[in-house]
Amino acid sequence: MEKNYDRYFAPSLREARKRIKKDIETIRFEFPENLIGLVKNKKYLIKTYGCQGNEADSEKIAGILENLGFSETTQEEEADLILFNTCAIRENAESRVFGELGRVKSYKKHNPDLLLGICGCMPQEERVFNIIKEKYPYIDLVFGTHNIHKLGEYLYDAYLNKEKVVEVFSEEGKIVEGIPTKRAHERKAWVNIMYGCDEFCTYCIVPYTRGKERSRSFADIIEEVRELAKEGYQEVTLLGQNVNAYGKDLNINYTFADLLNDLWEIPIPRIRFTTSHPRDLDDATIQALAKGGNLMPHLHLPVQSGSNRILKKMNRKYTKEEYLEKVAKLKDLVPGISITTDIIVGFPGETDEDFEETLDLVQKVDFEGAFTFIFSPREGTPAAKYQDDLDSKIKKERLHRLNKLINEGYLRGNQRFEGETVKVLVEGPSQKNPELLSGYTEHNKLVNFEGDQSLVGKIVDVKIEKAYTWHLRGIIVENHS
Ligand code: SAH
Ligand code: SF4
Ligand code: F3S
């Protein structure tokens, strides 16, 4: 334990890299009774960055805080606890948070009781952890991705005993079931099916920040989805860094496709999942998707690059040809399926020819959307040490050319729905124009249309009048209540 800290545990990159073969225990979380309602008249604000995994974690954090007696606020000025749930995937994700940490410090002047905390993937990185410790000593609470369930204890120490709490574990712990959850949406829910990642793509920090791949028991997942269906949820998104590897660590001969087939029978209108790894996407999963029903006709299938040479250097374990083969199968068995992807440009050593291969693949697949990124070296990952002598101007040009092609695909993917009637799960007022309602179709397309607030949370029929690159404009046809 370090001087000045009452609770201190620092992460280690070496530990985070380790994969120990052992069964992961599942425990049931019981909220400590002495902590329920401990805090009076205090407000919290959580700022969430990064992937859906972090959004799901923030819902658990919120659940714990509400049990402690906190209530939520959206106003920084009135918060008694500001917690940053952070992402480490690229450098710009991190610099944004460092900027914010500097900015919110001033609130402490007005509210000396204000607690500032950081959690999620950034503190899991040894380098970042040390920066937080040295440059941001006024941060009261630092914890990671493996110990969210201990937040009640941490706040007890930090808040009531005025102690500084710094506890980041590198080794993943047990699977903790039953953490209270305050869901952000009323009709859409995240459901973790697994945690961690064992892929070790050479550019990626996630296997270090999230630990070993470990699946929840299918009985727990099915029970959670059943419960959500009973509560009136319309859509569930199954979460994992590589959902197609679901169950492999459990040695129970039950795969992701088996899970989809079981969930297919539950009366909940929509099931989605993210993220799929192309190598592990198997025929049984494609066949499950082909059954339709509540399994939505959209697949996010990150390809990262179209060059076999680069894919190999990325440790993605598939070739361009294998990827295209899976896409062909998907399009054949699930007619009309929308396929989206993630692509990295400027990976170390990427030549013009490699990049052309990526453009060629984009054209061949006809993606209907993509998240595109310039490679960002992450300390501790193998690719951070690869020689990277490509000019940043060239990387930007490549990104620009790629985005142009991707946007054409976005528009084409939207245009195919002009004149069609589609089902839209209404989320609320459109962000750009609050006079309109907006929601997503089964193919995951954003639709704006005029309609009454009472439709929020329902699935309605909308006739598409016009397609734009980023959204569809439609007119309501009929209301299914
Ligand atoms: N588990 C998911 C994705 C997780 S990260 C998967 O395997 O597909 C989301 C996306 O961020 C990745 O698909 C990749 O395109 C991008 N990404 C990850 N690490 C990156 C890095 N170091 N630089 C740039 N982009 C990165
Ligand atoms: Fe990162 Fe690869 Fe794991 Fe996705 S599959 S989280 S890109 S290591
Ligand atoms: Fe970011 Fe961690 Fe998710 S690094 S993308 S928040 S797993």
Q: Which of 271-275, 368-372, 432-436 has the lowest mean pLDDT?
A: 432-436
**pLDDT for position 478:** 65
Phi–psi pair at 193, nearest 5 degrees = -110, -20
355 pLDDT more than 60: yes
Kindly indicate the confidence band of residue 163, based on its pLDDT and cuts at 50, 70 and 90: confident
**pLDDT for position 196:** 96
Q: Which CATH architecture has domain 304-320+330-416?
A: 2-Layer Sandwich (3.30)
Q: Whose CA is nearest to atom 1 of ligand 3?
A: 87
At 173-217, the pLDDT tens digits run 899 999 999 999 999 999 999 999 999 999 999 999 999 999 999
At 368-423, the pLDDT tens digits run 999 999 999 999 999 999 999 999 999 999 999 999 999 999 999 999 999 999 99
Expressed in angstroms and rounded, the spacing between residue 268 Cα and the centre of ligand 1 is: 30
Across the chain, mean pLDDT equals 96
204 lines ligand 2 (CB under 6 A): yes
447 pLDDT more than 70: yes
User: Pairing state of beta strands 459-467 and 338-345?
Assistant: unpaired
Expressed in angstroms and rounded, the spacing between residue 371 Cα and the centre of ligand 3 is: 15
At 131-155, the pLDDT tens digits run 999 999 999 999 999 999 999 999 9
253 pLDDT more than 70: yes
**pLDDT for position 159:** 81
Q: Whose CA is nearest to atom 3 of ligand 3?
A: 51
At 34-69, the pLDDT tens digits run 999 999 999 999 999 999 999 999 999 999 999 999
Cα distance between residue 67 and residue 456, in whole Å: 28
Provide the token pair at 109.
């002047």
Closest ligand 3 atom, CA of 54? 6
Phi–psi pair at 117, nearest 5 degrees = -135, 155
**pLDDT for position 371:** 98
213 lines ligand 2 (CB under 6 A): no
Domain ranges of the chain: 7-167, 186-296, 304-320+330-416, 421-479
Q: Whose CA is nearest to atom 7 of ligand 3?
A: 206
Q: Which residue, among 383, 382, 380, 385, has the nearest Cα to 170 in the 3D structure?
A: 380
Q: Which residue, among 59, 68, 62, has the nearest Cα to 41 in the 3D structure?
A: 68
Q: Are 106 and 77 in contact (CB under 8 A)?
A: no
87 lines ligand 3 (CB under 6 A): yes
Provide the token pair at 411.
């528009």
CATH no., domain 421-479: 2.40.50.140
Q: Are 22 and 213 in contact (CB under 8 A)?
A: no
To test the ligand 2 pocket, which listed residue (194, 195, 199) has its Cβ within 8 A of the most ligand atoms? Answer: 199
Q: Average the pLDDT over 250-261 and give the result.
A: 96
- Cβ neighbour number for residue 21 with a 10 Å cutoff: 6
Q: Which residue, among 425, 421, 351, has the nearest Cα to 390 in the 3D structure?
A: 351
Going 202 to 206 to 210 to 212, the CA torsion angle's sign is negative
Specify the DSSP class assigned to residue 216.
P
Share of the chain above pLDDT 70, in %: 98
- One DSSP character per residue, 273-295 reads EE---GGG--HHHHHHHHT-TTB
CATH of 7-167, one of 3.40.50.2000, 3.20.20.70, 3.40.50.970, 3.40.50.12160: 3.40.50.12160
Please give the model's pTM, rounded to 2 decimal places: 0.96
7 pLDDT more than 90: no
403: left (phi over 0), alpha (psi -120 to 50) or beta: alpha
At 284-334, the pLDDT tens digits run 999 999 999 999 999 999 999 999 999 999 999 999 999 999 999 999 999
88 lines ligand 3 (CB under 6 A): yes
User: 186-296: what fold?
Assistant: Transcription Regulator spoIIAA (3.30.750)
The residues, any chain, with a CB within 8 Å of residue 282's CB and separated by 6 or more, are: 244, 255, 256, 257
Is it true that 186-296 and 304-320+330-416 share their CATH fold? yes
**pLDDT for position 480:** 52
Kindly indicate the confidence band of residue 23, based on its pLDDT and cuts at 50, 70 and 90: confident
210 lines ligand 3 (CB under 6 A): yes
94 lines ligand 2 (CB under 6 A): no
Work out the burial of residue 403: count CB atoms within 10 Å of its CB; fewer than 13 is exposed, 13-18 middle, 19 or more buried: middle
